[in-house]
Structure 1
Amino acid sequence: MDTNWRPDLSQHPGPKYLALTRALRESIRAGELAPGAQLPTVRDLAWSLQVTPGTVSRAYQMATQEGLLAATVGRGTFVAARAPRLGPTQALFQERDLGNEPWLVDLRSPQLPDVGQAAAMTAALSRIGGDLGTDWQDYPSQRGEAPLRDALCDWLSDRVLGPITEADIALSHGGQNALLLVFLCCLRGDRPVILTEDLAYPGIRHAGRLARAEVVGVEIDAHGLCPAALEAACRRHGAQILVITPEAQNPTAARMPLERREAIAAIARKYDLQIIEDDCYSIAESQLPSIRALAPDRTWYVGSLSKSLSPALRLGYVVCPTGMGEAGRLTAQHSFFALSRPVSDLCLDLLESGVADQLRRAVVAEFSVRLQQMVNALGAFDIRWQPGLPFIWVPLPTGWRGSTLARMAEAEGVLVRQADEYALIHGRAPHALRVAVAGAIPQARYLPALDTLARLLARPPSDMAV
Structure 2
Amino acid sequence: MAEIASDQDIFIIEDGAYHLLSQNAQPAVASFAPDHTIYIASMSKTLAPGLRMAYLSVPQAYRKPVSKALYNLNISVSPLMAVLAARVIVSGQLDQFIKSHQHNARQRNKLVNRYLRDYTCHGDETGIFRWLELPGTISGSAFETLAMEKGVRVYGAERFTVGNNLPSRAVRMSVCAPETLTELEQALLILKNLLDQL
TM-score interval, smaller chain: 0.7 to 0.9
Q: 1:337 to 1:275 in 2, by over 3 A?
A: closer
| Residue 296 of structure 1: aligned partner | 34
Conserved 8 A contact 1:301-1:320 = yes
Partner-residue secondary structure (3-state), 2:135: coil
Is residue 155 of structure 2 the alignment partner of residue 417 of structure 1? yes
One-letter amino acid of the structure 1 residue matched with residue 134 of structure 2? L
Task: Tell me, in whole angstroms, the C-alpha distance in 2 between the residues paired with 1:337 and 1:422.
Answer: 25
Q: 1 or 2 for the larger relative contact order (CA 8 Å, sep ≥6)?
A: 1
| Residue 54 of structure 2: aligned partner | 316
Q: 1:332 to 1:350 in 2, by over 3 A?
A: farther
| Residue 16 of structure 2: aligned partner | 279
Task: Tell me, in whole angstroms, the C-alpha distance in 1 between the residues paired with 2:50 and 2:13.
Answer: 24
Task: Tell me, in whole angstroms, the C-alpha distance in 2 between the residues paired with 1:325 and 1:384.
Answer: 35
Conserved 8 A contact 1:367-1:439 = no
Return 5+ residue gaps in structure 2 as ranges.
Answer: none
Q: 1:383 to 1:365 in 2, by over 3 A?
A: same
Task: Tell me, in whole angstroms, the C-alpha distance in 2 between the residues paired with 1:305 and 1:459.
Answer: 40
Is residue 146 of structure 2 the alignment partner of residue 408 of structure 1? yes
Task: Tell me, in whole angstroms, the C-alpha distance in 2 between the residues paired with 1:330 and 1:407.
Answer: 41
Q: 1:388 to 1:328 in 2, by over 3 A?
A: farther
Residues 235-269 of structure 1: per-residue CA shift (max 9 Å, x gap): xxxxxxxxxxxxxxxxxxxxxxxxxxxxx223323
| Residue 451 of structure 1: aligned partner | 189
Aligned CA RMSD, in angstroms, stands at: 2.4
Task: Tell me, in whole angstroms, the C-alpha distance in 2 between the residues paired with 1:410 and 1:353.
Answer: 42
Q: Which structure has more helix as a fraction of its residues?
A: 2
Task: Tell me, in whole angstroms, the C-alpha distance in 2 between the residues paired with 1:360 and 1:265.
Answer: 27
Partner-residue secondary structure (3-state), 1:394: strand
Task: Tell me, in whole angstroms, the C-alpha distance in 2 between the residues paired with 1:329 and 1:345.
Answer: 23
Task: Tell me, in whole angstroms, the C-alpha distance in 2 between the residues paired with 1:325 and 1:309.
Answer: 27
Partner-residue secondary structure (3-state), 1:310: coil
Which structure would you say has the larger Rg? 1
| Residue 377 of structure 1: aligned partner | 115
One-letter amino acid of the structure 2 residue matched with residue 384 of structure 1? H
Is residue 68 of structure 2 the alignment partner of residue 331 of structure 1? yes
Identity of aligned residues (%): 27
How many pairs were matched up? 196
Conserved 8 A contact 1:274-1:298 = yes
Conserved 8 A contact 2:17-2:46 = no
Q: 1:288 to 1:384 in 2, by over 3 A?
A: same
The structural deviation recorded for 1:311 is 2.5
One-letter amino acid of the structure 1 residue matched with residue 122 of structure 2? R
